[in-house]
Structure 1
Amino acid sequence: MKLKHTAVWAGFTAATLLAASACSAETTKKAAEAADDAQGLIKAALTRATDRTQNLGSADVRMTTDLGNGAGPVTMDGTYSWGHGFAFDVDMDTKAANMGQLHAAPKTRTIFVDGAYYYDVDPQPSGPLKGKEWMKIDASAILGEKGAQALDGSTGAGSPVASMRGLKYANNVDDLGKETVDGQRTHHYKAVIDRAHMGKFKEVYGNQDNPFGAMTGGADSITMEVWVNDKDLPVRLTEELGKVTVTMDFEKFGATAAVKAPPAAQTGDLTDVVKAQKQQQG
């Protein structure tokens, strides 16, 4: 209880003030305990959703990334897998992804598996892509060593379930009530992760010298919103990292096709070319 108007309290006896102080302290304590209980209930619900998502291992997802640079969002639609390491097989908008010089079709199939990106391109008349249908670039050439390591291993880092796991770092969570999303009844939650609570996120997002940091401007916080259905599964998940907004809509969990790399004979490797270009750019 804050003493905003001192004059009002001037005539009160010491006993009255002590009683008021005791009441205020008790009320504050109960309010804090209630808030802690509410936060605990929300985090328990988010933990159930995370565990359920983790166990199913894959999903069909429509992911939209807006870099906040006025160029418009990039949409990737397809399978994401995290059961045995992070992988995806998706179609993305060719123009929005700046792939028009290498691929004439409106959609470009993109695969990530075993630490490398593969882009379905038109065979080129010369160079590393001469007569090739796929362009390969190792993740380290695009994300740097730390970024590539973040995607490596069997934990599913970088996948939708990794975003769900990031909720455990949240220092502030809110229950925004019930909403209908994509025809499903859901519960809407919001979580904010500040720099002090980012955990491993700091290694990826906290430095402007890496690609993630450059895109987000070295974000000081991550705001996440998730809509969870009555099966304890996310229907939609959004992340705001600085100027970047990522939205994931989940269509189906589990029972998705395995993600495989294209045949080596049909693939041209541009990893060294991309690394050399980055070195030249400083």
Structure 2
Amino acid sequence: MGMAAWKRVGVCLTAVAVVAGVAGCQDGDGGGTKKKAADSAGSGVQTQNEMTEVLQAAFKNTSDAKSSKVRMTMTVPAAAGGGTMEMSGVQGWDPAVMDVTMKGSALTAGDPDAPEQVRMIMLDQAMYMDMGAEQAAEMDGKRWMKMDFGAIAEASGDPEIQKQMTGGMENMNQDPAQQLALLLGSENLKHVGPEKVDGVQTQHYKGTLTIEEMLDANKALDGVFTAQEREQLVANMKKTGLKGYDTEVWVNEDNYPAKMVVGMQMDSGEMKMTAHYSDYGAAADVEAPPAKDTFDFMEMMKELEGLGADSEAGLDA
């Protein structure tokens, strides 16, 4: 596999990590309230009870919808590699699926031969990435690379990595409204006020979460880490310079999140994800690429290791 292909693998894995990390983490039934987000549009800042009712209603509605169309932009600070990535397509939850097309400077920077866009499919705890026609020519016509997260975690032989991978995949089963649930746990939740997003009236909310608060709210990690392991995980995250999460949500008149912005503050700068959601309940008929067009990342790595071992044996002889 050429260097350009490996670069695209790295970029897509970064995208997966970001999506998994901000996909939201708290379970709950959403309360069942029917209050409209726009009810307080003309009455100034909402009270704590009003904010809670709106966000709980949005959580329930979005959880029930199970899918939506998504348009997402991620920016990475220059010190961490830099670049922008745009993703658009459909996302489903319960079960977690995604079929998106990615483009942006994060894919093409420093590689004039890189494709302008890459399609990525996620389902059944695996990611499929279209590596392009050039890669297909090198792989017997197979242009789709499959990355099985469970197999990668198992092959690592590291229980810590396996636990983190398991937690990450559990997070991918969460829907966008989970950000609303996280906001409900923020001690400094604020109602910014009414704003228009994509031509529709919304109510804007914002809050911040520390690393500890994010992990406390992450029910997907319950029972995964011991207290000592959790403490080490927090320490490792802080070593990367991650200071916390700034979260903003715009809830439309039908109590669905129309837009979300999550910023992760680090020593190297801010990594930000901005997502626009629409067509809640849209069919997420995501299918894996045909097996005849797919090669497995882990199997390829094993073959490369075998070739390396054979070469060393030849030199020893």
Residue 197 in 1 paired to residue 213 in 2? yes
1:91 is the counterpart of 2:101: yes
The range that moved more, 73-82 or 241-250, is: 241-250
Deviations 1:9-54 (A, max 9, x none): xxxxxxxxxxxxxxxxxxxxxxxxxxxx933321221111111111
1:166 aligns with 2:177: no
Q: CA deviation at 1:85?
A: 1.9
Alpha-carbon separation, structure 1, partners of 2:299 and 2:241: 27
Give the corresponding residue for 1:232.
255
Q: Would the aligned equivalents of 1:171 and 1:194 in 2 still touch at CA under 8 Å?
A: no
- Higher relative contact order, structure no. (Cα contacts within 8 Å, ≥ 6 residues apart): 2
Mapping of residues 32-111 of structure 1, within 5 Å: 38-69=47-78, 71-82=82-93, 84-93=94-103, 95-97=105-107, 105-111=115-121
- How far 1:261 moved relative to its partner? 1.1
Report if aligned partners of 2:108, 2:115 keep a CA contact under 8 Å in 1: no
For residue 172 of structure 1, give the secondary structure of its aligned residue in structure 2.
coil
Q: What 5-or-longer segments of structure 2 have no aligned partner?
A: 1-45, 222-229, 305-317
Higher helix fraction (1 or 2): 2
Moved more, 109-118 or 251-260: 251-260
Please report the TM-score for the alignment, with normalisation by the length of structure 2: 0.63
Aligned match of 1:150: 167
C-alpha distance 267-49 of structure 1, shift in aligned 2 (>3 A) = same
Q: Choose 1 or 2 for highest CA Rg.
A: 1
Name the CA distance, whole Å, in 1 between partners of 2:56 and 2:257: 11
| Corresponding position of 1:32 | none
SS at structure 2 position matched to 1:124: helix
The verdict on how the C-alpha distance between 1:262 and 1:162 changes in structure 2, with shifts beyond 3 A counting, is: farther
> Is the Cα–Cα contact under 8 Å of residues 103 and 116 in structure 2 kept in the other structure?
yes
Counterpart amino acid of residue 55 in structure 1: D
Once the two structures are TM-superposed, the CA of residue 138 in structure 1 deviates from its matched residue by 2.1
- Given that 1:208 and 1:218 are in contact with CA atoms closer than 8 Å, whether structure 2 keeps it comes out as no
Q: One-letter code of the match for 1:145?
A: Q
CA distance in 2, matches of 1:100, 1:88: 28
Tell whether the 8 Å contact from 2:206 to 2:247 is kept in structure 1 after alignment.
yes
User: Which deviations, in whole Å up to 9, do the C-alpha atoms of 1:203-224 show, x marking residues without a partner?
Assistant: 69x5575xxx49x935332111
Q: 1:200 to 1:137 in 2, by over 3 A?
A: farther
What residue is the counterpart of 2:291 in the other structure?
264
Residue 220, structure 1, aligned to residue 243, structure 2:
yes
2:244 aligned partner, one-letter code? S
Deviation track 1:119-174 (CA, whole Å, cap 9, x = no partner) reads 11224344xx3320211112354994334323445x75354244333323322200
% identical equivalent positions: 28
Name the SS of the counterpart of 1:244 in structure 2: strand
1:169 to 1:276, Cα distance in 2 relative to 1, 3 A: farther
2:7 — aligned with what?
none
- The alpha carbon displacement at 1:230 in A equals 0.7
TM-score scaled by length of structure 1: 0.70
Whether the 8 Å contact between 1:80 and 1:89 is mirrored in structure 2 is: yes
Aligned AA (1:219): L
1:109–1:120 contact (8 Å) kept in structure 2: yes
Q: Is the partner of 1:96 in helix, strand or coil?
A: helix
Q: CA deviation at 1:231?
A: 0.4
Q: Quick one: which amino acid aligns to residue 124 of structure 1?
A: A
The one of 146, 165, 170 aligned to 1:136: 146
- For residue 76 of structure 1, report the CA deviation from its aligned partner: 0.8
Give the superposed CA RMSD. Answer: 3.5
Match of 1:248, SS state, is strand
Matched length: 233
Cα distance 1:274–1:88, how it changes in 2: closer, same or farther (>3 A)? Answer: farther
- Counterpart CA distance in 2 for 1:52 and 1:256 is 16
* Structure 1: runs of 5+ lacking an equivalent: 1-36, 278-282
SS in 1 for 2:279: strand
- Assess if the C-alpha contact under 8 Å between 1:86 and 1:151 holds in 2: no
